[in-house]
Amino acid sequence: MAPSAHDEAATRQIRIDLAAAYRLIHRLGLDDSIYTHISARLPGPEHRFLINPYGLRFEEVKAGNLVTVDLDGRVVDDPAGLGINPAGFTIHSAVHAAREDAICVLHTHTVAGVAVSCQEEGLLPLNQWSMQFAGRLAYHAYEGIALDLAERERLVADLGDKPVMVLRNHGMLTCGRSVAEAFKLMHNLERSCRAQLAIQAAGAPLVRPPAAVVAKTSGQYASFYDKMETGGMPDTEWDAFKRMLARSDPDFME
């Protein structure tokens, strides 16, 4: 069956949004050479996904060179002929297969994120950015470079229904009902990690917000995300990020 005009338009928009996320992750300094990935589910019943061509830096990713793969990581369409990184899609395929709501999965290895992933207490709810993740954050123990397909079951079990995961001794992962949500969660997660390290480095006594305040703040953030994803609220922040890219990196839409 040929894709509908609606599906074609939705696919085009996902390609543009995913390419934008790659460019933004680079622009904000959250990429790791040619490693780490952002994947997005395409519309339709085939369970197909977009991911970056292996070997391109994030600032080279465009809407038109994203690779289409199936749930097992088999390449369906590869405009640049570069293939994908199997280790990268091991994690992403696990999440996509288990979570219908995970339209986009974003994974990073930043210095701040890796540093916090190595701390016994993980991410601490010390400020407004980090409080949004209270009760919404999962942890997965490090098992080596993600090539073992058997790890997928354990990773998914640890993730549960949470939108964010700390990969111990490894990095960070976010799941979004859209590319925009996955990116914004990661943007705030990275800032939370950087703030935590700065606070710890200062060595001054900490002010820890009461648990009730932390829970309230987390709920406020969750409600805000819900309104943008399911309540029809315009995502003005994501639109602003894309306008910035349209001025500086207009080829991301090609």
What does the pLDDT look like over 223-251, one tens digit per residue? 999 999 998 899 999 999 999 999 999 99
For a pLDDT cut of 90, what percent of the chain falls above it? Answer: 85
- Confidence at residue 2, expressed as pLDDT on a 0 to 100 scale: 53
Per-residue pLDDT reduced to its tens digit, 61-71: 999 999 999 98
Stretch 9-34: mean pLDDT? 96
Cα–Cα nearest to 112, from 58, 188, 20: 188
Residue type, 6: H
Q: Above 60 in pLDDT, residue 88?
A: yes
Burial of 160 (0-12, 13-18, 19+ CB in 10 A): exposed
- pLDDT tops 80 at residue 130: yes
Per-residue pLDDT at 31 exceeds 90: yes
Q: What is the pLDDT of residue 154?
A: 92
Q: What percent of the chain has pLDDT over 70?
A: 98
**Beta carbons within 8 Å of 253's beta carbon, 6+ residues apart:** 16, 19, 62, 63, 246
**In whole numbers, what is the pLDDT of the chain averaged over residues?**
94
- Summarised one tens digit per residue, pLDDT across range 219-230 is 999 999 999 999
Q: Is the pLDDT of residue 1 over 90?
A: no
In a 13 Å sphere around the CA of 169, the CA atoms on its Cβ side amount to 6
The model carries a pTM of 0.94
pLDDT at 22: 98
pLDDT at 5: 67
Structural domains in the chain, sorted by start: 11-236 (3.40.225.10)
Q: What is the pLDDT of residue 16?
A: 97
Q: Is the pLDDT of residue 116 over 90?
A: yes
Q: How far apart are CA 68 and CA 108, in angstroms?
A: 21
The pLDDT tens digits of the residues spanning 147-201 come to 777 888 899 999 999 999 999 999 999 999 999 999 999 999 999 999 999 999 9
